[in-house]
Amino acid sequence: MLRPLTRALAALAMLTGAALMGTDTTAQGATPQPAGTGPAHQFSFTSIDGAPMSMADFAGKAVLVVNTASRCGFTPQYDALQSVWETYRDRGLVVLGVPSNDFGGQEPGTEAEIKAFCETNFSVDFPMTEKQVVVGAGAHPFYRWAAEAGGPDKVPGWNFHKYLIGPDGQFVAAIPTRVSPTDPRAIETIEKALPN
């Protein structure tokens, strides 16, 4: 019952935040672009280990960006994400985990705790960022851009929402929480986005 309401509120908050923030979709010195324009390569994160992480480093590769959480009913999707990463990384796929505490307070730990949890329980070795806000006015600029590029119905409504970005940095698709990264529909979408 609450899921549609949560999604609607998240979408409204995202749209309101984007409107209030105008064209500021920059991170760590990137060139300003109108929301939803330009490639995803204009954005930067900080890695879970505290190092700079530019999306430009992934130019020429498809990137599956996933807002993750350690205490969620969908947390076992870490296994599927790791499997997809191992299967497709040599063909040009990057899986990028973005821990977020936005939904149900299900990612309360520090970056060190999150990293240890992922490595110990799921043998995760794909790149991960510091914890981020992914919805609303305070969302990371990448997430504001993706919401504009994909539309309000593609805004994360829960943990393990997946955005697929093409090798050119353009928005390709949103894969909802309930669709595992190893679901045939997700695999077909990922394979089509891989660099030639």
Whether 118 sits among the annotated catalytic residues: the reply is no
Cβ(139)–Cβ(101) under 8 Å?
Answer: no
Report d(CA 44, CA 46) in Å as an integer. 7
In this structure, the number of other CB atoms found within 10 A of the CB of residue 192 comes to 12
Helix (H, G, I), strand (E, B) or coil at 63: strand
Q: Which is catalytic among the residues 72, 133, 179, 194?
A: 72
Report d(CA 175, CA 31) in Å as an integer. 28
Taking each helix axis from N to C end, the angle separating 77-88 and 184-193, rounded to the nearest 10 degrees, works out to 40
| Catalytic (active-site) positions | 72
